[in-house]
Structure 1
């Protein structure tokens, strides 16, 4: 049996010895994919480590990485760690002021930066910074700046030494300082040791089996510990291949090119995928809708048998039906993800149970997990053999959990942080007798599965004395194909209200299909009020009356990361939203009729040009172009078409298809 690695470099070295010639990473460059093997990757890490050492990087030196995902990120991270230095990941989307604040707080001495634009944004680098390494090849005249390529050349010229110091590192050595996203306050530097991260990597694989045969697509920011642990360290430990998406906007295309077996995402990604499938089905013919409903029913029947446990095998006839459903319907959805996808991992926020159940039904299970930066980050996860939609799974092996009297979740285990950097008082308040106070209200069921209710600080306390957890309601609303974002408000108010950002792309198609007349997005939003109210009523029907939004306003512009309204994991900063739309919220609680549509700060746009989100490519081609009332000319064309040979053949084909479906199913 192989011994446990004592540091993250030894973990990678074990993989290099097992799979030296296997592809370690894939990335797109100049329109085509390039790759390096594990043996080549190890040599690149060594070269860059030697370059960093020549720049004065040594044990406990803080090195910041301010970059998008890519092979440079991984090489830089492992090179820094190999010297006993400390990686400080920083989101490249932050403002120059925010980046400088983190660099100063972390005492960073070297910064690895994506491009000149990012370097320009920082402007006045802190005095402690000795070198700025520019990843992208560009002319940038600055005394601190050196190109990544030049640094690699310097490292390559150094003598080859297999042991350059990483073997002296132990599990208790500091590996990284990760700054929290700051949903409820200023970011804090979380100190994680090699042992913290290794414990997470080792124990996650008890629930999420990953092997050297897997290829994962990386598109969540590596600056967040969720992607760095689940999307970088876990695959590197197992000997898998990491493929980097070109950008978050090209994920759909890259899925088809890479054909991964695993992806790690946030709930919004899976909710968007679910909404696109539902939208595509809505546009399809009655026959295809009927076939889809039949396939889903078969999948749900099979799922009920699976959930009874290993002693309850799926009946043979039902399994045969499921295989037909998979071939006729589900395979078309699988093809949109590349065709090889076997597992999807969701974290960062609650995933709506209906979305989880749907993907499990069609054979694309989503393993929902829960964690926080202070726990490296995974605390609990749904095991692949027994998924419970609506929960975040069981605690990882070696992780203990318990609830306080007010329902707050406490966690103890080997992945709990070393503390907050330069904030001993905050550390003492957060970790008491080894128990991490998560700040999350949770429930634990009879099987030991956790359900996260909401952040303790996020609970809305109504003036009636009732407490409302906004996350479950917001998650339910966001599962609608017509709703892009939803924020619940109402603290110290008599009831809750909602701020709704519609999905204008879906609304536009719905409006055109139903013959609505509109010229602008604002007109479309006003026409959609009744539709949105119906969605709110439907999706919140199972909540208590005081948890359902009594009123809502429609926002014409989405919350974005660039405007500081979202965290890097795409959660809305409620405080920012309440401040920005304070007058709108006040109007919802006034006696006067509130403004129902809140215009965007920018110029009015064409409703056919949706503000965000990828174009929906229908899984089934729609058979009609809408149900609007006919003009006289269209009526004449319709009468002529009735007598055409193509229509007669189409009718006969439809009848035959109906008979086949009836006989087969």
Structure 2
């Protein structure tokens, strides 16, 4: 029987897998665990303490913290009272934190420590803030510790607690998650218990069936809907163990320590793994390069066979033809196993979401025997709409719709969705809600197409399609993805609305560029390094190389090299690591205009106090009306 609400789904697991580790986290150099039974008791005591403090049904309670076991405890304690949790990205600047607190009308909040609490001006703080275990803490009437709240609940138990949460229905509001806000202020998507539960059920059926024996390494922010569903509620409803990474910069180290069986992540991490593998090959001997290339070709033959056969045919004829089997085993020993070890050695599947995965990178992972399952979704759909199933994953697409969802393509190419995981609407914004629905269908804002086998391919955001003055249209996302396939390019943005041609803004991957520069005997001072003709030539050649397969009007005619990596704190990226185009256009507007205004654009320019180099590529094409 299906659970009626998210709390019930976890309660069932806590009873069934009481002694099993629910969470792992690293403290003082060692990994520590907490069992499902102990975790559930903490949720119970915390909920009772919140009730004593006055949290009641439909109250809005914020959570501002990085990932740790207190996060899901707070989340479930809030929901168990019929209250609504409001996650806030820990990397957001103070003005956006304040905006969300006010927009959602929060009266209580959980906060990690003083550092995060100080993000909120005292005048804008909620009446009661509950701080996770701090090193030094002085309690006041407005600021209390989580231990104090849990202690209140332990000494003053909430007698009707189980009755209260067991009677929560699927259509009741569970959480308000604010969109990343790539344009304008974020909107609060209202998601019910049924919205998220139906997504968990659809993903579990369709993708990579999670098992209680699975271990997941959680490193995406729990404030993001993708990690909240796939990295919290899905594993907790199954009985998996969730290990919290120490931070994005420690993921590689933690992968080797935890050795997860399933990795849920965004394309950025997979791009880094791919780049590391390519760098290892490039620095190797000619023989190593030859072996690697041969092994990848064998892996691709296996993947192509897999795509060409139905499941019944594979069961009848064998998963792999005999003529490939021997070569594949050798390739596995020489290459695949070494790549797998970089991910801990036990990965049985990668789940990629939160952005488009470059098809070349997707094929690479399949070639080295690591299934990479790309999906697609939005905050408003809880989030997964489509995903590639394990049985037949088609690289270059985002898969088929979950079995409990419907999709269709509007006349203008926009993807429309209908089903139980679609949000109730935007909190306190009826106008935006009305604009987002048409005849019961949710309008995603994405342009896509469905192939003859029912797989969806996303072209780009509807509002991001670039219209040139020549009349030609450019979908920037595929071109940007191609550029970031380079070892030396971290982020890439295509610009060109109402211009004759497109240009690219790129940020170099300093992680790979600095060792290259050192090897070439060049300076390792970043600002000086970008003035080096050899570096400029390298980066422009990389852009030209990786965009050569596109139509000539889609290829950037000029490149602006930004002298810093973009990040969330400075506003260039959203918390889900998508580029915030309006911020980029505002910050680098002067350099962008100069790039279009000058015939030759090769001197150093300053934009927003950051070094930016503008360079032309394919100069013989300048003035072309392609």
> What interval of TM-score do these two structures reach, taking the shorter chain for normalisation?
over 0.9
Is the counterpart of residue 476 in structure 1 residue 474 in structure 2? Answer: no
Give runs of ≥4 in structure 1 deviating > 6 Å.
600-604
Distance in 1, matches of 2:88 and 2:276, equals: 32
Tell me the equivalent position of 1:611: none
Partner of 1:557: 564
Q: How does 1:68-107 map to 2 (within 5 A)?
A: 68-107=66-105
Alignment equivalent of 2:545, drawn from 511, 530, 538: 538
Match of 1:145 in 2: 143
* Aligned-residue offset at 1:537: 2.0
CA drift of 1:416 comes to 0.5
**Residue in 2 that maps onto 1:645:** none
Deviations 1:608-663 (A, max 9, x none): xxxxxxxxxxxxxxxxxxxxxxxxxxxxxxxxxxxxxxxxxxxxxxxxxxxxxxxx
Aligned match for 1:392, one of 394, 398, 404: 398
Equivalent residue number for residue 415 of structure 2:
409
Distance 1:334 1:597 in 2: 43
Deviations 1:91-122 (A, max 9, x none): 12222222121111111110100110111220
> TM-score by structure 2 length?
0.93
Q: Deviations over 1:139-178 (max 9, x none)?
A: 2454300011111111111347572510110001000000
Residue 449 of structure 1, CA deviation: 0.7
Q: CA deviation at 1:444?
A: 0.7
Deviates more, 1:371-380 or 1:341-350: 341-350
1:51 maps to: 49
CA contact (8 A) 2:92 2:575 kept: no
State the Cα RMSD in Å. 1.7
Match for residue 529 of structure 2?
A: 524
Residue in 2 aligned with 1:258?
Answer: 258
1:134 matched to 2:139:
no
Counterpart Cα distance in 2 of 1:125 and 1:5:
41
Q: 2:225 matched to 1:218? A: no
1:13 equivalent among 11, 14, 20: 11
The answer as to whether partners of 1:556 and 1:599 remain within 8 angstroms in 2 is no
Contact residue 192 and residue 417 of structure 1 kept, 8 A: yes
The Cα of 1:265 is off from its aligned counterpart by 1.0
Aligned partner (choices 143, 155, 158) of residue 157 of structure 1 = 155
Residues 482 and 506 in structure 1, CA contact (< 8 A), matched pair in contact too: yes
Q: Map residues 565-576 of structure 1 onto 2, 5 A cutoff.
A: 565-576=572-583
Q: What secondary structure does 1:108 align onto?
A: coil
Instruction: Output one character per residue of 1:405-462: Cα deviation in whole Å (capped at 9) or x when no partner.
Output: 1101110000010111011121111122220011101111111111111111111111
Within 1, Cα distance between the matches of 2:127 and 2:518?
59
Q: Give the whole-Å Cα distance in 2 for the aligned partners of 1:440 and 1:416.
A: 15
1:338 matched to which residue of 2? 344
**CA separation of 1:519 and 1:292: change in aligned 2, threshold 3 A:** closer
Name the structure 1 match of 2:621: none
Q: 1:556, 1:598 within 8 Å by CA — same for their partners in 2?
A: no
2:380–2:422 contact (8 Å) kept in structure 1: yes
**How far, CA to CA, are the matches of 1:574 and 1:596 in structure 2?**
24
State the SS of the aligned residue for 1:589: helix
Unaligned runs of 5+ in 1: 605-665
Partner residue, 2:268: 268
What is the alpha-carbon distance in structure 1 between the residues aligned to residue 509 and residue 15 of structure 2? 49
Q: Matches of 1:132 and 1:145 in 2, distance apart?
A: 5
Q: Say whether 1:29 aligns with 2:36.
A: no
Instruction: Tell me, in whole angstroms, the C-alpha distance in 2 between the residues paired with 1:520 and 1:190.
Output: 44
Cα distance change of structure 1 residues 524 and 156 upon mapping to structure 2, 3 Å threshold: same
> Is the partner of 1:165 in helix, strand or coil?
helix
Provide the rounded CA distance (Å) in 1 between the counterparts of 2:212 and 2:72.
18
Deviations 1:549-599 (A, max 9, x none): 011121111211111111111111111111111111111112442245556
Secondary structure in 2 matching 1:182: coil
Paired with 1:236 and 1:97, the residues of 2 have a C-alpha distance of 33
- Cα distance in 2 for partners of 1:228, 1:596 equals 46
1:446 to 452, 457, 469: 452
1:184 positional shift: 2.1
Q: State the Cα deviation string for residues 201-229 of structure 1 (Å, max 9, x = none).
A: 00011222111010000010000111000
Displacement after TM superposition at 1:357 (Å): 0.4
Which residue does 1:239 correspond to in 2? 239
8 Å CA contact retained: 1:180, 1:190: yes
Counterpart contact for 2:51–2:158, Cα < 8 Å: no
Query: Computing the radius of gyration over CA atoms, which structure comes out larger, 1 or 2?
Result: 1
Q: Is the Cα–Cα contact under 8 Å of residues 83 and 165 in structure 1 kept in the other structure? A: yes
CA distance in 1 between counterparts of 2:539 and 2:185 reads: 35
Contact 1:199–1:415 (CA<8 Å) still a contact in 2?
A: yes
- Taking a change above 3 Å as real, the CA distance of residues 517 and 44 of structure 1, as seen in their structure-2 partners, is closer
Whole-angstrom CA distance in 2 between matches of 1:591 and 1:243: 52
Shift of the alpha carbon at 1:240?
0.6
Cα distance change, pair 407–517 in 1 and its aligned pair in 2 (3 A) = same
Inter-partner Cα distance in structure 1 for 2:335 and 2:22: 34
Q: Secondary structure at the match of 1:501?
A: strand
Give the Cα separation in 2 of the matches to 1:195 and 1:28: 33
Aligned to 2:335: 329
Instruction: Tell me, in whole angstroms, the C-alpha distance in 2 between the residues paired with 1:594 and 1:69.
Output: 44
Q: CA deviation at 1:523?
A: 4.4
Decide whether the 8 Å contact of 1:554 with 1:596 is kept in 2.
no
Q: Summarize the alignment of residues 622-641 of structure 1 with structure 2, pairs less than 5 Å apart.
A: none
1:477-626 → structure 2 map (5 Å cutoff): 477-513=483-519, 515-518=520-523, 520-525=525-530, 526=532, 527-595=534-602, 597-598=604-605
In the alignment, which residue of structure 1 is the partner of 2:616? none
Work out the CA distance in 2 between the residues paired with 1:30 and 1:512.
Answer: 35
1:40-83 deviations in Å (ceiling 9; x for gaps): 11111101000110111111011000000010001000111111
Q: TM-score, normalised by structure 1?
A: 0.88
Superposed, 1:351-366 pairs within 5 Å as: 351-366=357-372
Does the 8 Å contact 1:553/1:597 carry over to 2?
A: no
> 1:504, CA displacement in angstroms?
2.7
Deviations 1:189-210 (A, max 9, x none): 1000000000000001122211
CA deviation profile, 1:358-378 (whole Å, cap 9, x unmatched): 001111121111000110010
- Secondary structure at the counterpart of residue 565 of structure 1: coil
Cα gap change, 1:29 to 1:461, in 2 (>3 Å): same
Aligned to 1:316: 322
Q: Is the 8 A contact 1:555 1:598 kept in 2?
A: no
Aligned residues: 600
For 2:117 and 2:218, the matched residues in 1 are separated by: 24
Match of residue 112, structure 2, among 106, 111, 114: 114
